[in-house]
Amino acid sequence: MARDAGMDYESFYRQSVEQPEVFWAEQARRIHWDTPPKQILDQSRPPFRRWFVGGTTNLCHNAVDRHLAARAEQLALVAVSSETGITREFTYRELHREVNAFAAVLQSLGVGKGDRVVVYLPNIAEAVFAMLACTRIGAIHSVVFGGFAAHNLALRIDDAQPKLLVCADAGMRAGKVIPYKPLVDAALNEASAPPPHVLLVDRGLDPQMNRVPGRDVDYAGLRARHEGAEVPVAWLESNEPSYLLYTSGTTGKPKGVQRDTGGYAVAMAMSIRCIFDIAPGQVMFSTSDVGWAVGHSYNVYGPLIGGATSLLYEGLPTRPDPGVWWGLCEKYGVHSMFSSPTAVRVLKKQDAGWLHKHDLSKLRWLFLAGEPLDEPTAQWINAELGVPVVDNYWQTETGWPAITLMPGLEMKPARLGSPGLPAPGYKMKVIDENTGREVPAGSKGVLVLEPPLPPGCLSTIWRDDDRYVHSYFSHFRELLYSSLDWAIRDADGYTFILGRTDDVINVSGHRLGTREIEESVAGHPAVAEAAVVGVKDELKGQVPVVFATLKQAAGAGAADVARGMQQCVVEQLGSVAKPARVYVVGALPKTRSGKLLRRSLQALAEQRDPGDLSTLDDPAALEEIRKALERGPDQEN
């Protein structure tokens, strides 16, 4: 039975794609508009589109201010760190006060409407304050995951050209302090467009933290100076940018996914209720990092726009014990939880008794996303937890689920291996990569979306409209958004995702460009050529594996060079991209035109048939790979 919109899934979805203006005009009523939209949809310049044209609104107002009248004393944010042992709770009134103070601090450092602010923070309350404070004053935030290395951070700084960078002294993982400030200092030294100021959130984790006079400013001192500040919200036209979120591309340069304001707010309001079944006053626990798309949408904006309580977590799912997440679910009465298959696979290795120690009677749904959900993992957690497991598929670009089931509307039967059915507004089909024609049910093809993309999806690539069109809409004769994922749809419309068509791999839900890793590996002075492929991994979904040839005068042993390659990747891209295995070989398999046969390498590494090798230039190169795989890697992670 539909619990929110008064209609079943089929009617809800059909209206969203057949009468999009009628549908989204109704959904737009879920948020506050200072000025109502004059036009619901403008698609006069495809593939670009503008939603809620002429309407003015503000993400921070919708997430915080508008709830003060009805739920000022309700918990809005709970920030838990199992690393430091500190829990901080904020009601909507207290969150309003903190965000206003942070906004005043931003303004005192010269940040205004349209300026960019890079946020380099772990999962702490100040990350939420910073994001909301930016959107409050009309600044554009760009949150960079704290695990990224200095070079990666420098690339994002140069692209965004921020007025300010906000960072912590350190993060923590598995009890180990990870200093952030040295990475920031190195990134700013490398960047060609460094910001004039760095705002430091000092957690007291790195007493040796370096401060640059005149550039680095302590947040605590400035916040005290602006205690009690009241900063008016900046009302933005619906299509003005709210934030940038960088994602790996097929080249070394990251893509700055640009999100609008009004469309995103409406997508969050609709999805938090209809997909995640969160009503005002309920509690949502998303285990994502704020630096990822899920963290933006369902740690911060979605739950708060929906008037719910958001649980923010810093730490591992197994520390101080494997029951830590379930204890939080019990303590705060979590209604919907959102995590990843990798996290569940980690917990699957632990004693299930930790799960059964806690009263989870209020937990209604477990949502999983970020990577394909395998059947054994889904069956195990469903049996142990005793609540429905809802898979869902989306991308950084979409900003919210594109394929899912909708428990807040009507819960359709789940099918193992499939994230479900198209979400509202996503008009999708599976097509032949060569002809562009839709394939029959049950046949493999490329998953594509027909314009216009629904509200909440990216509006363009930051300052690069041409790259937006080229990256997503130039793959077929017809103007279609390519997901760059292989898929199969069954006769009932359920979609099964089979993997990437390009060279982006998925490691524990983190998208990594293999070309970026290759460039890092090739930076080692002994490396002549390298190929990086994503290989299936029981725990992480996929891991990067390197095959490399060395220069004749390399001198050093294969193991030493292999370790050096891993270190090059860690230094440039961060530990999340560290190759799991490195194989030093005499030659790499190529076509006669010189193209590396990456798919064949991947197949061999996964002990599969390497496929059609009729274009192979030198059969001996393939034999080299087989021998290397038999003897084992020169270096493992």
Residue 554 has pLDDT above 60, yes or no: no
Which pLDDT tens digit goes with each residue over 496-516?
988 777 667 777 777 777 777
Q: What is the DSSP letter of 87?
A: E
* Residue 215 phi, psi (nearest 5): -110, -45
Which pLDDT tens digit goes with each residue over 313-340?
999 999 999 999 999 999 999 999 999 8
Lookup: tokens for 156: 């994002």
Lookup: tokens for 39: 């036009």
Considering just the CA atoms, what is the radius of gyration of the chain in Å? 24
pLDDT score at 274: 97
Residue 250 has pLDDT above 60, yes or no: no
Residue 375 has pLDDT above 60, yes or no: yes
Rounded CA-CA distance 275/423 in Å is: 9
Reduced to 3 states (helix: H, G, I; strand: E, B; else coil), residue 488 is: strand
Confidence of residue 357 (pLDDT cuts 50, 70, 90): very high
Which of 471, 472, 438 is CA-nearest to residue 452? Answer: 472
Please give the share of the chain, as a percent, with pLDDT higher than 70: 95
Residues 6+ apart with CB under 8 A from 352: 384
Q: Tell me the average pLDDT across 404-413.
A: 96
pLDDT score at 135: 98
Please give the share of the chain, as a percent, with pLDDT higher than 90: 71
Peptide bond into 320 cis (omega under 30): yes
The DSSP H or E segment spanning 90 is: strand 86-91
Which single residue is written with the structure tokens 């050093």?
A: 556
CATH number of 504-636: 3.30.300.30
Give the residue with greater pLDDT, 458 vs 521: 458
Q: H helices within 228-374, ranges in order?
A: 262-274, 293-294, 302-305, 324-332, 341-348, 353-356
Q: Tell me the average pLDDT across 147-163.
A: 91
Domain regions of the chain by residue span: 9-328, 504-636
Q: Specify the pairing of strand 56-57 against strand 236-237.
A: antiparallel
Residue 612 has pLDDT above 90, yes or no: no
| Chain centre distance of CA 293 | 3
Residues 6+ apart with CB under 8 A from 175: 83, 319
pLDDT score at 307: 98
Which pLDDT tens digit goes with each residue over 46-83?
999 999 999 999 999 999 999 999 999 999 999 999 99
* Residue 381 phi, psi (nearest 5): -70, -35
Is the domain spanning 9-328 CATH 3.30.110.30? The answer is no
Q: Tell me the average pLDDT across 159-184.
A: 95
Q: Tell me the average pLDDT across 158-179.
A: 95
Which pLDDT tens digit goes with each residue over 191-238?
999 999 999 999 999 999 999 999 999 999 999 999 999 999 999 999
pLDDT score at 8: 93
Maximum mean pLDDT: which of 158-162, 527-531, 535-539, 553-557? 158-162
| Residue 371 · residue 380 · CB < 8 Å | no
Give the residue with greater pLDDT, 511 vs 37: 37
Confidence of residue 470 (pLDDT cuts 50, 70, 90): very high
* Residue 435 phi, psi (nearest 5): -95, -25
**Average pLDDT value over all residues in the chain:** 91
Q: Tell me the average pLDDT across 353-380.
A: 89
Which pLDDT tens digit goes with each residue over 73-85?
999 999 999 999 9
Rounded CA-CA distance 40/44 in Å is: 13
pTM of structure: 0.85
Which of 117, 89, 121, 88 is CA-nearest to residue 103? Answer: 117
Which pLDDT tens digit goes with each residue over 419-458?
999 999 999 999 998 899 999 999 989 999 999 999 999 9
pLDDT score at 47: 97
Residue 91 has pLDDT above 60, yes or no: yes
pLDDT score at 2: 38
| Residue 197 · residue 213 · CB < 8 Å | no
Q: What is the 3-state secondary structure (H, E, C) of 552-580?
A: CCCCCCHHHHHHHHHHHHHHHHCHHHCCC
Confidence of residue 614 (pLDDT cuts 50, 70, 90): low
